[in-house]
Structure 1
Amino acid sequence: MSMKKWLAIIILFSFFAYMLWEHMTERQTIATGIHVGMKAPDFSLQTTDGQMVQLSQLRGKAVIVNFWATWCPPCRAEMPDMQKFYERYDQQVEILAVNVMVRDSQEKVREFIKEYHLTFPVVLDVDGHVMKQYDIQPIPTSFIIDRQGIIREKQIGPMSYEQMVQYVEKWGK
């Protein structure tokens, strides 16, 4: 075989080996993200009044972890339903609203809490660490976590009152 053919074979082999490696690396990355059925990663964040809330301390109750922002129209739309749900089911389910602090300030969050009369815990992800940990892209995004701390549902987009009720009936018992 000529040198040109050997060089072409080596280049083709290298190309296919690289493509295979890329494909395997991509699949590995996808498999290691946050997904339904895994234990919810623990985190601690402060509320607007300085109290620390740790997700693992809520074990024993189902938890809705909701990632949101004050400037997000779908987030604003779901908050009245979330408050209504919390008033009805607060003995069975905890809501933990994680403000992602993108273009938000503590003062804006405090005003939002007052405007919507929110009584469930609202915590501040000031540096975006928890947002990254949970791989949040669009907001709102919510995770339904069962009493044992296992992620049972992931909801991208706003949740209605009816959806929250369905989730608690399925995972909150």
Structure 2
Amino acid sequence: MKIIFYISFIWVPFSATYSQTSNSYFENEDNYYEVLKRTYYEEGFPNIKFLDVGGNRFDLKSLKGKPILINYWAFGCTPCFKEMPDLSKLVEKYGDDVKFLSVIAPGNPNILSESLQKKLKGLNFQYTHVATNRTFSEYGFLDVYPLHIVIDKKGNLVDLFTGVNNELLEKYIKSLLSSN
């Protein structure tokens, strides 16, 4: 009886978000991220540790003082690649005032590998490419791409959302840069 209960406990949350019959991977993705946002508003956004392609280590707290935009994406994600030129334009326009981070799914690849660095250079994607100390799923994020995380100058979560919406990102950037 305990085993059956345990298995049902694991499958119930997953089956509530996964749909084999819909075009969306997660029927309740918006609700899921609304709950996650509330959690991070109340508890604070985690101090994620990063490693960049140059081998430099840093964390989110060390970036306080500038707004941060994190783009979580995957190589197999067509919308991710379609938005990269527009995201790179944001970097060209606001790169001195905003920190732009690119996290490749699952979040902790060997960012220093020569083959990965060649792929990244070939993209002409201007974000700073980083790996995390843990996978993003360990921070509560679903593997739905692209995921955008907007953090203010003080290190607080402003918003997180999935999908391509570069106009919204630029609106956030302008708002964050105009606030003290």
TM-score by length of 1: 0.69
Matches within 5 A, 1:1-173: 33-35=36-38, 37-38=41-42, 39-101=44-106, 106-107=113-114, 109-125=116-132, 127-128=134-135, 130-160=136-166, 162-173=167-178
Confirm or deny: 8 A CA contact 1:70 1:108 kept in the other structure.
Answer: no
How far off its partner does 1:88 sit?
0.6
Amino acid at match of 2:138: K
Identity over aligned pairs, percent: 23
* Structure 1 unpaired stretches of 5+: 1-28
* Structure 2 unpaired stretches of 5+: 1-31
Residue number in structure 2 paired with 1:23: none
Q: 1:166 to 1:155 in 2, by over 3 A?
A: same
- SS of the equivalent of 2:47 reads coil
Q: 1:78 to 1:100 in 2, by over 3 A?
A: same
Residue number in structure 2 paired with 1:6: none
Alpha-carbon separation, structure 2, partners of 1:143 and 1:63: 8
Confirm or deny: 8 A CA contact 1:62 1:93 kept in the other structure.
Answer: yes
How far off its partner does 1:112 sit?
3.3
How far off its partner does 1:93 sit?
1.1
Q: 1:31 to 1:62 in 2, by over 3 A?
A: closer
Alpha-carbon separation, structure 2, partners of 1:64 and 1:134: 18
Offset from partner CA, 1:111-151 (integer Å, 9 cap, x none): 332122234311124752x3321423311111111111111
The RMSD of aligned alpha carbons is 2.9
Larger relative contact order, structure 1 or 2 (CA cutoff 8 Å, min sep 6): 1
**Structure 1: which 4+ aligned runs deviate by more than 3 Å?**
29-38, 104-109
Offset from partner CA, 1:58-77 (integer Å, 9 cap, x none): 11111001111122111111
Confirm or deny: 8 A CA contact 1:64 1:142 kept in the other structure.
Answer: yes
Alpha-carbon separation, structure 2, partners of 1:107 and 1:93: 28
Residue number in structure 2 paired with 1:26: none
- SS of the equivalent of 2:51 reads strand
Confirm or deny: 8 A CA contact 2:148 2:161 kept in the other structure.
Answer: yes
